């Protein structure tokens, strides 16, 4: 125990890098998911084709390969070198954004047809329809899967130690090399990863609850914040967990 307490600052530095990668990657992924997801629902073929190409390409390439490409291949091809952390964030964001775009597209398409017909009857414009009717309902549907994707991105970020970024995994490796204590050195990082994941899961559940409240839907399992800590039934039918 003393071992970990003494070295806690180093672990926290690593954890901070992991958190930065996760938040940065999620921010980019969210924007990409929204843009390409909405494009995927437009009737004209061109935006739909662009969205499909984006999704298939960036979902198909492993995140690690993408990071290697960004860090090692891109400078050779273009002459510009991104900062390693930034390159990793871009690669993670592009990868997870492709999964997210599918979620956004599916959620928008799952909004009941009558809702869309009602907007037509009320003569709302496309942007009004999206902003006022479709997206708020789709949003509540997206959030549970987005929660999974946030955790997936956090986990995927662990590969960045392979390109020399000192994240939580790199700290475990360094500790082990410095002290020879493999077990304890790694357990420290494992625990921190677990805690970070729990915080993100909790945050996403808060968002989910808020989204459902705004739609006037009952919150299952009562009101208190503690209710959020209970595990929820896992929905796997969406098929986008990973």
**Using rule CB under 8 A, residue 59 touches another protein:** yes
- Fill in the per-residue mask, 160 to 179: x = in contact with another protein (CB under 8 A), - = not in contact: -xx-----xx--xx--x---
How far is residue 213's CA from residue 99's CA, in Å, rounded to a whole number?
26
What does the chain come to in residues? 242
Q: How far is the CB of 21 from another protein (least distance, A)?
A: 11
Residue 142 and residue 107 in contact, taking contact as beta carbons nearer than 8 Å: yes
State which of residues 159, 165, 204, 211 lies at the interface with another protein (CB under 8 A).
159
Give whichever of 129 and 155 is closer to another protein, judged by the CB atom: 155
Q: Is 105 exposed, middle or buried (0-12, 13-18, 19+ CB in 10 A)?
A: buried
Give whichever of 153 and 211 is closer to another protein, judged by the CB atom: 153
Q: How far is the CB of 116 from another protein (least distance, A)?
A: 23
Angle of helix 84-110 relative to helix 45-60, nearest 10 degrees? Answer: 130
Q: How far is the CB of 159 from another protein (least distance, A)?
A: 5
Binding region for another protein (CB under 8 A) out of 35-43, 82-90, 119-127, 192-200: 192-200
What are the φ/ψ torsions at residue 165 (nearest 5 degrees)?
-85, 135
* Half-sphere exposure for 26 (CA within 13 Å, toward CB): 19
With CB under 8 A as the rule, give the number of residues binding another protein: 50
Q: Is 73 exposed, middle or buried (0-12, 13-18, 19+ CB in 10 A)?
A: exposed
Binding region for another protein (CB under 8 A) out of 26-34, 37-45, 73-81, 126-134: 73-81
Residue 207: both structure tokens together: 């968002």
237 sits in which H/E element = none
Binding region for another protein (CB under 8 A) out of 38-46, 104-112, 128-136, 232-240: 232-240
**Using rule CB under 8 A, residue 103 touches another protein:** no
Residue 180: both structure tokens together: 């020879």
Chain residues binding another protein by CB under 8 A are 56-57, 59-66, 68-69, 72-74, 76-77, 151, 154-159, 161-162, 168-169, 172-173, 176, 182-183, 186, 189-190, 193-194, 197-198, 201, 233-237, 239-242
């Amino acid at each position: 125990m003393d071992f970990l307490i003494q070295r806690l600052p180093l672990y926290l530095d690593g954890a901070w890098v992991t958190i930065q990668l996760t938040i940065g990657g999620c921010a980019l992924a969210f924007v990409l998911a929204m843009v390409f997801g909405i494009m995927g629902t437009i009737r004209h073929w061109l935006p739909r084709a662009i969205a499909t190409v984006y999704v298939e390409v960036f979902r198909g390439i492993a995140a690690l390969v993408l990071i290697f490409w960004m860090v090692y291949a891109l400078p050779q091809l273009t002459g510009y070198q991104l900062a390693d952390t930034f390159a990793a964030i871009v690669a993670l964001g592009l990868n997870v954004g492709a999964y997210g775009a599918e979620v956004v597209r599916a959620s928008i398409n799952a909004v009941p047809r009558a809702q869309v017909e009602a907007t037509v009857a009320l003569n709302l414009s496309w942007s009004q329809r999206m902003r006022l009717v479709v997206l708020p309902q789709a949003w509540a549907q997206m959030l549970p899967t987005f929660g999974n994707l946030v955790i997936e991105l956090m986990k995927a970020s662990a590969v960045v130690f392979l390109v020399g970024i000192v994240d939580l995994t790199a700290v475990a490796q360094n500790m082990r090399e410095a002290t020879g204590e493999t077990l304890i050195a790694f357990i420290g990082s494992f625990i921190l990863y677990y805690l970070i994941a729990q915080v993100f899961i909790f945050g996403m559940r808060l968002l989910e609850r808020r989204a459902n409240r705004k739609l006037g839907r009952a919150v299952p399992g009562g009101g208190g914040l503690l209710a959020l800590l209970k595990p929820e039934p896992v929905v796997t039918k969406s098929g986008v967990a990973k």
